[in-house]
Amino acid sequence: MTTDASTGEPNEPAPGHPPTVVVADSNLAPLRAEFEAALPAGSTVRWPDPRDAAALTAALTDADVLVSGQCTAAMAAAAPRLRLVHAAGAGTERIETAALAPGTLVANTFHHENSMAEYTISAAILLRRGFLRQHTALREGRWDSPVHDPDSPWTDSLATATIGFVGFGHIGARCWELFRAFGARGVAVTRRGDVDAAARGLDWSGTVDDLGTLLETSDVVVVSAPLTAATTGLIGAAELSRMRSSAVLINVGRGPVVDEDALFRALSERTIGAAALDVWYRYPSEGGTAAPGNHPFEKLDNVLMTPHSSGLTRETFARRAADIAANIGRLTAGERPHHIVAVAR
């Protein structure tokens, strides 16, 4: 590949030798055979342990493609031939594009929206119908049902629910398709306010200036907005206080979009009914053990806690692997890969 020195944009890639591909994303390891079979003939594929810096550096010395959601300056320096860094997901914030050689492409892929929509529907039903509470009660021999206990509350189906979407990209839109099948109503707010409500079958859509109205009128609030300076703490104490006391909050975007202190207080004091939290405020630095936040959410009986797993299914990564292999094929054939999100200058 050559680069236009005046713009830093890559010229059209020229067909070249079979690529050397380094895969440093452990999520693709179970799909190794399928991924390698889909690559251009003659490809060399290396699978170093992403935790072993020395092994990773050694693998990168003659790499044309790095498949990883991370590329540090040190990794970039070790890979002078690199032409493409491809994340096996949407996030590319850990790829230091400025450290890459000019013209190097950065691409991503998605395909998590189906699995995340499945999670969101499941969580909404679980919490709105009280199944989490009933599960705990019956394990103790208590029949938490209005048929057996007159003090047990009646619950509502999704057919009577209004679903409020904070963010309506490919994740929110796919979630809405499933909620709509249950007969729910939908409303949405986005930064730009450019969602066509009529075309999407929503009651209305607006900008974040309409967030308060959305929170006041929704039975289920689905947060899928990305984390930016503008969205950090977007939903805080004032916003949570506007939600219905029976409302369910489902956060599959990024943890800090919802203020942690305010959320814990709202759940503890039953200002809102329940929450499903798949994204968090703290993550393990290594290994799989760490408290997900600064508050004991695990002590609350109205919280469903999952380890950022809503999009993690075999199907998600099988489709991502196919996307990546196809892009490597395009690069090798001299075609422009799809889903380019950045070009090193």
Nearest-angstrom CA–CA distance, 115 and 105: 28
Token pair for 260: 């942690």
Nearest-angstrom CA–CA distance, 201 and 34: 38
Q: Rg of the chain over CA atoms, in angstroms? A: 23
Region 129-145 average pLDDT = 96
Q: What is the DSSP string of 63-94?
A: -SEEESSEE-HHHHHT-TT--EEE-SSS--TE
Is residue 11's pLDDT more than 70?
no
Is residue 5's pLDDT more than 90?
no
Query: Could you tell me what percent of the chain has a pLDDT over 70?
Result: 95
- pLDDT for 43: 98
- pLDDT for 4: 37
- pLDDT for 286: 79
Is residue 255's pLDDT more than 90?
yes
- pLDDT for 16: 65
Grouping H, G, I as helix, E, B as strand and the rest as coil, residue 195 is coil
Nearest-angstrom CA–CA distance, 9 and 102: 8
Adjacent-strand bridge partners of 3: 10
Q: What DSSP designation does 227 have?
A: P
Nearest-angstrom CA–CA distance, 175 and 335: 34
Any idea which residue has 């452990």 for tokens? 26
Token pair for 166: 């904070």
- pLDDT for 148: 97
- pLDDT for 66: 98
Domains defined for the chain, CATH in brackets: 20-110+314-343 (3.40.50.720), 113-305 (3.40.50.720)
Region 276-300 average pLDDT = 94
Q: How many CB atoms lie within 10 A of CB 59?
A: 23
CA atoms within 13 A on the CB side of 263: 27
**Cα 78 to Cα 19, 58, 107, 121, distances in angstroms:** 17, 8, 20, 44
Nearest to 77 by CA among 57, 54, 102: 57
| Region of poorest pLDDT, from 12-16, 39-43, 124-128, 287-291 | 12-16
pLDDT digits (tens, 9 = 90+) for 318-328: 999 999 999 99
Adjacent-strand bridge partners of 204: 187
- pLDDT for 12: 43
Is residue 125's pLDDT more than 70?
yes
Token pair for 323: 């996307």
pLDDT digits (tens, 9 = 90+) for 202-254: 999 999 999 999 999 999 999 999 999 999 999 999 999 999 999 999 999 99
- pLDDT for 288: 84
Nearest-angstrom CA–CA distance, 218 and 273: 12
Grouping H, G, I as helix, E, B as strand and the rest as coil, residue 163 is strand
Work out the pLDDT band at 68, boundaries 50, 70, 90.
very high
Is residue 292's pLDDT more than 70?
yes
- pLDDT for 15: 59
pLDDT digits (tens, 9 = 90+) for 72-101: 999 999 999 999 999 999 989 999 999 999
Nearest-angstrom CA–CA distance, 291 and 111: 28
Q: What is the DSSP string of 281-329?
A: S---SSTT---SSSS-GGG-TTEEE--S-TT--HHHHHHHHHHHHHHHH
CA atoms within 13 A on the CB side of 31: 23
Note the pTM of the prediction, 2 decimals.
0.88
Region 165-177 average pLDDT = 97
Q: In Å, how far from its chain's centre is CA 316? A: 11
Is residue 265's pLDDT more than 70?
yes
Is residue 305's pLDDT more than 70?
yes
Listed in sequence order, the DSSP H helices in the chain are 32-38, 53-60, 73-77, 113-128, 131-139, 170-181, 197-200, 211-217, 237-240, 260-268, 314-332
Is residue 2's pLDDT more than 80?
no
